[in-house]
C-alpha cells in the first residue's frame, strides 16, 4: 500500500511563500490538499498554483507585531482554523562583518529570528484554542550549523531559530509541535546571484554528495511530512535536507587517495 499524505481540510500559512523555496513549500502543501495562505510585504508577480489550486495571498510586514496578530486573526476568521505555520521568510545579502554596521546586521537578525518568533506567537494563540492543535515548521539553514563568512548574522539567527524551536516544542507540547527543517543549497530563480551561470550551478552541485542542489520541491515535500500526522511523534527535531552536506575540505587537500 503506498504511503500518502492527505492534508485536505487543513489550513497552512507559508511566510515568504511567493517565490523560491517558499513557493515550493506552498505548492507542495497545495498538492497535499491543504488550503494555503502565503504572505509577504509585496504581492507575487504571479499566483502560486499547484494541482489545479491557487494559494491565497495576504500582505503583511512580519516585523510589525500588531500587523502579524491582525493577519493571523484574519486567517482564523476567514478559514476557521490554522493547522500549519511554515516560517520561511528570511534571507540576507552577502556582506562581510567588517563591511556593514551593527544596525544592518541587526536587521538581518530581526528578519530571520525575531520575525519567526513573532509569527509563531500569533499562530500559537490560534492553534492552542482549537481541537488538534497545530504544527509549526521553522525553515533554518546549514548556515546555522557551521561558520558562515559573508552571512554571519544570518547564520547566527538561523542557529538561534533552531534553538528557539526546541524550546517552543517543550513549552507548547502536546498541542503544538514545533520542528526545524534545515536545507542546504537550493536551486531557485536567484541561484545565479550566489553561484553564477549554469556551469557554476552545476559545479557547486557536484560538491554535494547527492550531486545536485536541492529543488524547492525537495524542501516542500519535507515540510508536508513534518506538518502531517505522519510526524505526529516528532517535535523539537531538526531535519537536515542538504543532500549529504558538504564534502570536508581536508579530503581534497590530503596527499593520500580516497
- Distance between CA 153 and CA 144 in Å, rounded? 9
- Distance between CA 216 and CA 227 in Å, rounded? 16
Grid cell listed for 235: 517535535
DSSP letter assigned to residue 211: S
**What is the Cα 5 distance to its own chain's centre?**
19
Residues 92 and 153: beta-carbon distance below 8 Å: yes
Grid cell listed for 105: 546586521
- Find where cell 581534497 sits: 252
**What is the Cα 75 distance to its own chain's centre?**
19
Neighbours of 131 (CB within 10 A): 6
Grid cell listed for 201: 550551478
Residues 225 and 32: beta-carbon distance below 8 Å: no
Q: Are strands 84-87 and 11-15 parallel, antiparallel or unpaired?
A: parallel
Report the sign of the C-alpha dihedral through residues 86, 87, 93, 95, in that order. Answer: negative
Nearest to 68 by CA among 20, 117, 106, 19: 117
Q: Let me know if 195 is a catalytic residue.
A: no
Of the candidates 124, 154, 195, 233, the residue annotated as catalytic is: 154
- Distance between CA 69 and CA 73 in Å, rounded? 6
Q: Which positions are annotated as active-site residues?
A: 154
Amino acid at each position: 500500500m503506498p504511503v500518502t499524505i492527505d492534508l485536505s481540510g487543513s489550513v497552512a500559512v507559508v511566510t515568504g511563500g511567493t517565490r523560491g523555496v517558499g513557493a515550493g513549500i506552498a505548492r507542495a502543501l497545495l498538492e497535499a490538499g491543504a488550503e494555503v495562505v502565503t504572505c509577504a510585504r509585496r504581492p507575487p508577480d504571479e499566483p502560486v498554483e499547484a494541482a489545479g489550486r491557487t494559494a491565497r495571498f495576504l500582505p503583511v510586514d512580519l516585523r510589525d507585531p500588531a500587523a502579524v496578530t491582525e493577519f493571523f486573526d484574519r486567517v482564523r476568521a476567514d478559514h476557521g482554523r490554522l493547522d500549519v505555520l511554515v516560517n520561511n521568510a528570511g534571507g540576507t545579502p552577502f556582506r562581510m562583518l567588517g563591511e556593514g554596521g551593527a544596525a544592518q546586521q541587526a536587521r538581518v537578525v530581526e528578519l530571520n529570528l525575531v520575525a519567526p518568533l513573532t509569527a509563531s506567537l500569533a499562530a500559537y494563540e490560534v492553534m492552542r484554542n482549537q481541537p488538534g492543535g497545530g504544527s509549526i515548521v521553522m525553515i533554518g539553514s546549514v548556515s546555522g550549523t557551521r561558520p558562515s563568512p559573508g552571512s554571519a548574522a544570518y547564520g547566527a539567527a538561523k542557529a538561534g531559530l533552531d534553538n528557539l524551536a526546541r524550546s517552543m516544542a517543550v513549552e507548547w507540547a502536546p498541542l503544538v509541535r514545533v520542528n526545524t527543517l534545515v536545507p542546504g543549497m537550493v536551486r531557485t530563480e536567484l541561484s545565479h546571484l550566489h553561484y553564477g551561470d549554469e556551469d557554476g550551478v552545476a559545479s557547486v552541485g557536484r560538491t554535494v554528495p547527492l550531486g545536485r542542489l536541492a529543488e524547492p520541491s525537495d524542501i516542500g515535500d519535507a515540510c508536508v511530512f513534518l506538518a502531517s500526522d505522519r510526524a505526529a511523534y516528532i517535535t523539537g527535531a531538526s531535519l537536515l535536507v542538504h543532500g549529504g552536506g558538504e564534502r570536508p575540505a581536508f579530503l581534497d587537500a590530503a596527499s593520500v587517495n580516497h
